[in-house]
C-alpha cells in the first residue's frame, strides 16, 4: 500500500521500520535482526514516540508490531547493559511511562496487535502482555528468563500475566524462565490465534503478519470512536477497578464525547438504510 495521507509527520526511526499494509493500519517492524530485535535505550524512546504519534494521527486506527527475522523481540540489549557496567555506570533501566518498547505499560487510545513471529523473551514478552490482541506464528516462544540473568521483569508483565493466565502459570513463567510455545500459550489465553502452516508443516512466510493485517482490517471497518471507547472499557476492568466504578467512568468519560456524534449517527443511519457505514476519523 502507498503511504497514506498523514496529517502529522511520523517520527524518524533508526531501529524500526514503519509501513502501511492497508488503510488506517500502521505496521511497526522491530529491525535489529542480528541482535534478535533486542531494544536499546534509544530504541525505547523511538517506540514511545511512534505509539504516541499513532494515537495522535487521525488517519491511523490500529497498530501492529512484529519483528524482522527469526525473533519478535529478545528483550533488553544486555550488551548495552554490560558496556555501561564496564564503564562503572549502572545499567539504565529507566523507561518512559509507556514501558518496555513503549507498550508494556501503555494506556494508549488505539489498539495494538502483536504479531509474534518468533522469540518473545524478557521485555518482548512484557510487551505482548499488554498488547490488545496477540497472534503467534507456530514457532513463537514466550518466556521471562530474567531470573537466569539475575534481574527481574519489572516493566509491567508480572502483575498483568497473573491476571491474563492465572497465578500458578504466571509463577511458572517468572520463576523457571522456561519457554512457552505457541500452542501452550494459546491454551493458557496468552495469545488469540496461531497462524497456519503450509502443506509441509512449515510456517507460512510472513503468515502471522498477514493474519494480523486481517484482524486489523476487520477492526478498522468499524467506527473508530466505538473502537477507542470499547478498548477503554476493557482497560478499566483490566486495571482492577470495580465493575460499577469502571462502568460509571466509561459512561461519564469517553462515552459522553461520542454520544450523538457523527460516527454514532452514521452507524445507526447506515443500519436503517441497509448500507455500509462511512466513518470519519475519530476526534477523540
The residue ranges of every structural domain in the chain are 16-220, 224-272
Answer with the residue of higher pLDDT: 51 or 279.
51
Nine-digit cell at 93?
533501566
pLDDT of 148 > 70? The answer is yes
pLDDT of 90 > 70? The answer is no
Answer with the residue of higher pLDDT: 162 or 247.
162
- Helix-helix angle 224-238:262-272, to 10 degrees: 110
Catalytic positions, written as ranges: 76, 123, 126, 146
- pLDDT per residue as tens digits for the range 17-29: 999 999 999 999 9
Question: Of the candidates 134, 168, 164, 173, which has an alpha carbon nearest to the alpha carbon of residue 238?
Answer: 164
* Whole-number Å distance between alpha carbons of 22 and 4: 9
* Whole-number Å distance between alpha carbons of 177 and 148: 7
Residue 1 banded pLDDT, cuts 50, 70, 90:
low
Nine-digit cell at 8?
502529522
Buried b (16+ CB within 10 A) or exposed e, 66-92: bbbbebbbbbbbbebbeeeeeeeeebe
Buried b (16+ CB within 10 A) or exposed e, 226-238: bbbbbbbbebbee
- pLDDT per residue as tens digits for the range 210-258: 999 999 999 999 999 999 999 999 998 887 777 677 677 777 787 788 8
- pLDDT per residue as tens digits for the range 69-88: 999 999 988 777 666 666 55
16-220 maps to which CATH number?
Answer: 3.90.226.10
pTM of whole model > 0.85? Answer: yes
**What is the rounded average pLDDT for all residues in the chain?**
88
Compute the average pLDDT of residues 42-53: 96
Amino acid at each position: 500500500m502507498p503511504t497514506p495521507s498523514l496529517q502529522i509527520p511520523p517520527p524518524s526511526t533508526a531501529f524500526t521500520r514503519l509501513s502501511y499494509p492497508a488503510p488506517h493500519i500502521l505496521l511497526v517492524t522491530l529491525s535489529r535482526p542480528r541482535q534478535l530485535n533486542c531494544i536499546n535505550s534509544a530504541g525505547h524512546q523511538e517506540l514511545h514516540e511512534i505509539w504516541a504519534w499513532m494515537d495522535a494521527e487521525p488517519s491511523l486506527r490500529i497498530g501492529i508490531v512484529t519483528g524482522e527475522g527469526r525473533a519478535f523481540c529478545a528483550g533488553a540489549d544486555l550488551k548495552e547493559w554490560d558496556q555501561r557496567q564496564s564503564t562503572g555506570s549502572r545499567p539504565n533501566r529507566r523507561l518512559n511511562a509507556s514501558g518496555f518498547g513503549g507498550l508494556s505499560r501503555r494506556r494508549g487510545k488505539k489498539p495494538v496487535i502483536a504479531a509474534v513471529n518468533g522469540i518473545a523473551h524478557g521485555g518482548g514478552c512484557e510487551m505482548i502482555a499488554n498488547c490488545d490482541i496477540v497472534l503467534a506464528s507456530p514457532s513463537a516462544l514466550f518466556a521471562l528468563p530474567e531470573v537466569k540473568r539475575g534481574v527481574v521483569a519489572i516493566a509491567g508483565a508480572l502483575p498483568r500475566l497473573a491476571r491474563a493466565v492465572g497465578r500458578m502459570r504466571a509463577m511458572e513463567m517468572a520463576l523457571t524462565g522456561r519457554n512457552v510455545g505457541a500452542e501452550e500459550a494459546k491454551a493458557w489465553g496468552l495469545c488469540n490465534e496461531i497462524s497456519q502452516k503450509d502443506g509441509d508443516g512449515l510456517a507460512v512466510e510472513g503468515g502471522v503478519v498477514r493474519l494480523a493485517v486481517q484482524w486489523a482490517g476487520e477492526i478498522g471497518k468499524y467506527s473508530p470512536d466505538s473502537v477507542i471507547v470499547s478498548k477503554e472499557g476493557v482497560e478499566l476492568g483490566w486495571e482492577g477497578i470495580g465493575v460499577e466504578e469502571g462502568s460509571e467512568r466509561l459512561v461519564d468519560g469517553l462515552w459522553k464525547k461520542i454520544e450523538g456524534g457523527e460516527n454514532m449517527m452514521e452507524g445507526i443511519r447506515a443500519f436503517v438504510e441497509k448500507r455500509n457505514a462511512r466513518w470519519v476519523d475519530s476526534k477523540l
